[in-house]
């Protein structure tokens, strides 16, 4: 018997964010395992590669429904709000403090004032669907965590159980750890009660990382928790490359957003040191879909960048092209902070590409465990480890033109296999 799951997801293709791939994987594969997915999301215009494009009103201002053999997608219009219009008029770099203040206030008051909620049309569309269609389950994937409230209300109204999916942490996420103490306390006061309420009434809780477990269990220990890793979409992976397709320069690639707490500045300083010590050492740093440019690099590094280090900046690109760019690398950089429990979604893309991973600064966290389990990278716990590892890998490149990687099988981390495990879990929840 086929079950129907209504999925509330703000990010969804053609949105190019990493977060869009999680519900997209469910849409692609759930129907193989007895679940018909009905994804309710917003319109995303193709080519949304800059921050400004993420907040502008969608071109289409109508509700569009798509029905395929995989399931159903309901796309609702998006209208730019006041904060969004500030970004569109003045750019992302001006009025940062007022804009962040407005964003924080909206993030709280939208739980009580629908006009402030840019996901409210998703709620309305899901409500209209459930008025005339039977569903066995509602799933909300956050962030934005306002979707958890929508899930809660729809569940009560239509007597349908719901599951909350933590793609990121809400009040206990990695980025919250680097907020100032006052802001963390304020977030806790404002949001912890709401979060506990939604957790308490959920049928189960999905998490993208086991690192979320301890914090969520403290908030509500009776919840039924299950980890569903993000994984990679196998069908989008490029085929085998010929030797001529490898870059002629020693290339280290970094994919995705860069956060202030990540040690990119330290990495560049260490590469500078290597360039000073060895005039033959040359490296190309490639940033894919990152929020940085040459000006950012110059501000980040106090000393001048060696001419032996070059840079390439590639905007957000479709998934297949993104995988191809990763493939055209010798090393894949993973930035971490020792003592910080974090599972970055890009790790699974890196594993799928079969390139050596260079992680700095690693410790005994979940990412280190996965990399060591699959024999696919160097864990640099300090500066000396990083210097030694890069020297060794550059020497291999100088001799062979490549950096070998003999990773163990990673199929368990494909989004299809992760969705299969997820389906087993949620079918038990609705028995």
Q: What is the pLDDT of residue 289?
A: 85
Q: Are 16 and 154 part of one and the same domain?
A: yes
Shared domain for 28 and 111, answered yes or no, is yes
Q: Which residue range(s) make up the domain with 136?
A: 3-231+414-429
Q: Looking at residue 178, what is its pLDDT?
A: 45
- pLDDT < 50: residue spans in the chain: 174-178
Q: How many domains does the structure of the chain reveal?
A: 2
**Residues 392 and 315 both lie in one domain:** yes
User: Are 36 and 71 contacting, i.e. CB atoms less than 8 angstroms apart?
Assistant: yes
60 & 111 share domain: yes
For residues 159 and 186, state if they share a domain. yes
pLDDT at 318: 86
pLDDT at res. 96: 77
**379 and 265 share a domain?**
yes
State the pLDDT at residue 81: 81
Buried b or exposed e, range 340-352, using 16+ CB within 10 angstroms:
bbbbbbbbbbbbb
Which pLDDT does position 25 carry in this prediction? 95
Strands (E), 197-340: 204-207, 225-227, 251-255, 283-288, 309-314, 331-335
Whether residue 260 sits in one domain with residue 204: no
Helix, strand or coil, per DSSP, at residue 40:
strand
DSSP state of 30: G
**Whether residues 82 and 210 fall in one domain:** yes
270 and 227 in one domain? no
Rg value, the chain, Cα: 22
Do residues 93 and 122 share a domain?
yes
- 372 plus 421 within the same structural domain: no
216 and 245 together in one domain: no
pLDDT of residue 18: 83
209 cis-preceded (ω within 30 degrees of 0): no
User: Quick one: which of 401, 395, 403, 397 has its CA closest to 376?
Assistant: 403
Q: Assign residue 215 the CATH number of its domain.
A: 3.40.50.2000
């Amino acid at each position: 018997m086929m079950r129907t799951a209504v999925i509330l997801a703000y990010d969804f293709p053609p949105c190019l964010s990493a977060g869009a791939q999680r519900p997209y994987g469910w849409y692609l594969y759930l129907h193989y395992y007895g679940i018909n997915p009905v994804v309710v999301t917003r319109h995303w215009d193709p080519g949304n590669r800059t921050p400004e494009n993420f907040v502008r009103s969608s071109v289409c201002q109508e509700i569009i429904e798509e029905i395929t053999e995989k399931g159903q997608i309901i796309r609702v219009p998006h209208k730019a709000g006041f904060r969004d219009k500030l970004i569109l008029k003045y750019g992302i770099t001006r009025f940062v403090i007022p804009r962040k203040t407005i964003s924080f206030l909206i993030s709280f008051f939208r739980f009580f004032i629908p006009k402030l909620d840019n996901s409210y049309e998703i709620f309305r569309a899901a409500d209209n669907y459930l008025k005339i269609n039977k569903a066995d389950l509602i799933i909300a994937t956050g962030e934005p965590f306002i979707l958890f409230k929508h899930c809660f209300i729809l569940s009560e109204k239509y007597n349908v159980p719901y599951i909350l999916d933590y793609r990121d942490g809400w009040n206990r996420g990695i980025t919250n750890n680097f907020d100032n103490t006052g802001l963390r306390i304020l977030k806790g006061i404002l949001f912890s009660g709401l979060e506990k309420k939604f957790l308490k009434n959920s049928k189960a809780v999905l998490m993208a990382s086991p690192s979320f477990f301890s914090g969520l269990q403290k908030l509500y220990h009776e919840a039924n928790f299950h980890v569903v890793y993000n994984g990679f979409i196998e069908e989008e992976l490029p085929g085998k490359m010929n030797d001529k397709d490898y870059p002629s320069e020693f290339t280290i690639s970094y994919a995705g957003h860069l956060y202030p707490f990540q040690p990119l500045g330290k990495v560049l300083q260490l590469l500078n040191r290597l360039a000073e010590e060895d005039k033959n050492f040359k490296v190309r740093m490639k940033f894919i879909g990152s929020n940085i440019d040459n000006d950012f690099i110059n501000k980040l590094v106090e000393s001048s960048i060696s001419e032996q280090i070059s840079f390439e900046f590639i905007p957000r690109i479709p998934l297949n092209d993104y995988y191809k760019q990763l493939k055209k690398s010798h090393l894949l950089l993973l930035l971490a902070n020792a003592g910080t429990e974090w599972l970055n979604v890009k790790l699974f893309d890196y594993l799928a590409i079969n390139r050596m991973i260079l992680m700095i600064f690693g410790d005994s966290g979940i990412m280190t465990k996965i990399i060591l389990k699959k024999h696919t990278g160097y864990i640099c716990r300090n500066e000396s480890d990083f210097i030694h590892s890069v020297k060794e890998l550059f020497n291999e490149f100088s001799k062979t033109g490549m950096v070998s990687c003999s990773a163990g099988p990673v199929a368990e981390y494909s989004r299809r296999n992760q969705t299969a495990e997820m389906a087993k879990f949620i079918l038990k929840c609705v028995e």
